[in-house]
Amino acid sequence: MIFIGDIACPSLKVDSFISSIRSLGIFKNEIVVLNLEANILDEKENKRSLTLFNSPKVIDAFTDAKKVIVTMANNHMYDYPSKIQITASYLRSKNIGVFGICEKDGSVLPFEYEENGIKYAYFGHCWGLYTRTNTNNENNVRIVDHDYDIFANIVLDYVKMNPRTKVYCFMHWNYDREKLIMPMHRKFAHYLIDRGVEGVIGSHSHRPQGAEIYKGKPIVYGLGNFYLPSGIYFDGKLVYPDYAKETYALKISGENSSLVWFETDKDDKVISLMLEESLYGEKISKYSPFSNMSDARYVSYFKAHRSKSLFVPIFRDFQGKKYHFNEKWAICRVKVIRFIKKLVKR
């Protein structure tokens, strides 16, 4: 089983993407779990500014996989809310598993898959900060963005009812281009593992972040962009720096976990294989200075070394009054920044 990061591949790049992925051969006969960072739009459909989208052919890159499973729990689903259910239906028509969208009655269900007598369940979640600043004003379709304590209760109730099922949580969290995991997100990942979740996988920061083995279980905090090419989206203005040109996958084989590193969208290459290492490997260790730190020590470390600090609150806990206050402040910050940008454009 292999977890990979954000994918948004337009028609202009999709044939090269398909060819590159197939040539790697690494996904053959694997369960591939990925974050589809954007809805699927036909080439002729009108594309809005400041949005991401995927070509309908994007999933063809993984035709030699044993099974492809997709989380849609990310904020860019709300770029085109009318396309969420259409995208999900299209994926299911291709025998692709889908999770991260609320059911019609509002409930949250995982995607379940069984192989060789082992049952797996996948839950997806997007930090509510982003769905409250990139809202769905078109319909009632909702991606999973519940408060963390509510989401945890849903997942852990499932764990209790299905003790033999291996449960994985694919989380969309943290700030864009932040190099360190937010303290509350690290704490939340530990919380889930402590209560029976098999592994926690993170995305959204658009750059690789650290990873660790916690109580024998893998936690990867930020896979990075698996493929999200610069110079295409946001009217060609969305360009990623060099630190975003590497990405890794979490590979799980039985009880063993490893990381597979790739270069992505670099020097006119689509995806190229770099190396495979353990979660204690030299490369990932450079991203993971926090391994074995206590929560309190990590808060101090994060405060001193984080990438984004200008009016950005430090979320220490994932629940409680302080959390909700910080979230409201963070939402106001985003709205003010967007308002200022509009004024500047005028």
The CATH number assigned to the domain holding 202 equals 3.60.21
- Residue 70 falls within a domain, yes or no? yes
Amino acid identity at 297: R
- Residue 325 falls within a domain, yes or no? no
Close Cβ partners of 342 (under 8 Å, ≥ 6 residues apart): none
Report the DSSP pairing between strands 211-214 and 217-220: antiparallel
Checking if the pLDDT of 272 tops 70, the result is yes
CB 315 within 8 A of CB 175: no
Band of residue 163 on the pLDDT scale cut at 50, 70, 90? very high
- Residue 289 falls within a domain, yes or no? yes
Residue whose token pair is 């797996």:
120
Distance of alpha carbon 263 from alpha carbon 269, whole angstroms: 8
Report the pLDDT value the prediction gives residue 345, as an integer from 0 to 100: 66
- Residue 234 falls within a domain, yes or no? yes
- Residue 285 falls within a domain, yes or no? yes
Report the pLDDT value the prediction gives residue 43, as an integer from 0 to 100: 86
Return the percentage of the chain with pLDDT > 70, whole number: 99
Average per-residue pLDDT for the chain: 95
Checking if the pLDDT of 338 tops 90, the result is no
Report the pLDDT value the prediction gives residue 159, as an integer from 0 to 100: 98
Taking each helix axis from N to C terminus, what angle separates 295-305 and 183-194, rounded to the nearest 10 degrees?
Answer: 150
Amino acid identity at 186: R
- Residue 343 falls within a domain, yes or no? no
Close Cβ partners of 270 (under 8 Å, ≥ 6 residues apart): 13, 16, 17, 19, 20, 21, 227, 264
Report the pLDDT value the prediction gives residue 335, as an integer from 0 to 100: 85
Tell me if the pTM is above 0.85.
yes
Distance of alpha carbon 126 from alpha carbon 130, whole angstroms: 7
- Residue 313 falls within a domain, yes or no? no
Number of domains in the chain: 1
Report the pLDDT value the prediction gives residue 267, as an integer from 0 to 100: 85
| Other beta carbons within 10 Å of 200 | 26
Distance of alpha carbon 120 from alpha carbon 143, whole angstroms: 21
Amino acid identity at 293: M
- Residue 338 falls within a domain, yes or no? no
DSSP state of 317: -
- DSSP reduced 3-state for 217: strand
Close Cβ partners of 80 (under 8 Å, ≥ 6 residues apart): 39, 41, 48, 51, 53
Checking if the pLDDT of 304 tops 80, the result is yes
Report the pLDDT value the prediction gives residue 225, as an integer from 0 to 100: 98
DSSP state of 108: -
CB 327 within 8 A of CB 175: no
With the C-alpha atoms ordered 91, 95, 99, 103, is the resulting torsion angle positive or negative?
A: positive
The mean pLDDT value for 56-65 works out to: 97
Report the pLDDT value the prediction gives residue 346, as an integer from 0 to 100: 60
Element (H, E) at 251: strand 246-253
Per the structure, the complete domain to which residue 282 belongs is given by 2-305
257-266 burial, b for 16+ CB within 10 Å, e for fewer?
bbbbbbebbb
Q: pLDDT tens across 87-130, in order?
A: 999 999 999 999 999 999 999 999 999 999 999 999 999 999 99
